[in-house]
Amino acid sequence: MNIALINKETNSCENIAVFEDIQKAVELFGEQYIIAEQTENYGIGDIYKDGIWSKKECIPAELPQQRREHAYETMRYKADQTPLILWKEEALTVNEANKKWMMYSAEGSEIANELSVLIVMAKSYIREIYPDNE
């Protein structure tokens, strides 16, 4: 029978060993580990707590591009507390400035060019914080 050796602190399965019966596993490893019979589809790295197996939750790492997109939506101020984009006495996020740019661009206004410069500078600042080669 396959016996799982469960870390007592983390409840994570650290090893699977083959024993004729569970009692022998308890004698050998019971002080070190929680001893449980391995259940199909569960094994090393999975969680065993209060007699119930579950898969370890994997949280994917956020990519630099995702961090930049989040910053475009939320960042109004740089680290030194100066506005990322200052437009008519208002601190804007990149996305807010893009909306204004679209409006002025659709009207053929020169203001769109001014906003473009500010947006490019803000995106460059954010790219320095979250470069692709992290």
Domain ranges of the chain: 2-54, 64-129
Query: Tell me, what amino acid is at 50?
Result: D
Handedness of CA 117, 123, 127, 132 (dihedral sign): negative
Query: Tell me, what amino acid is at 39?
Result: T
Q: What's the pLDDT band for 43 if we cut at 50, 70, 90? A: confident
What pLDDT shows up at residue 59? Answer: 65
Q: pLDDT (tens digit, 9 = 90+) per residue, 63-74?
A: 888 889 999 999
Residue 66's φ and ψ, nearest 5 degrees, are -65, -40
Beta bridge partners of 86: 91
Percentage above 90 pLDDT, the chain = 52
Pick from 133, 132, 134: which is nearest to 65 by CA?
132
Q: What's the pLDDT band for 134 if we cut at 50, 70, 90? A: low
Q: Tell me the HSE value of 130 on the side-chain side, using a 13 A CA sphere.
A: 15
Q: What's the pLDDT band for 124 if we cut at 50, 70, 90? A: very high
Q: pLDDT (tens digit, 9 = 90+) per residue, 4-23?
A: 999 999 999 998 888 888 89
Summarize the chain as % helix, strand, coil (round to 5). 40, 25, 40
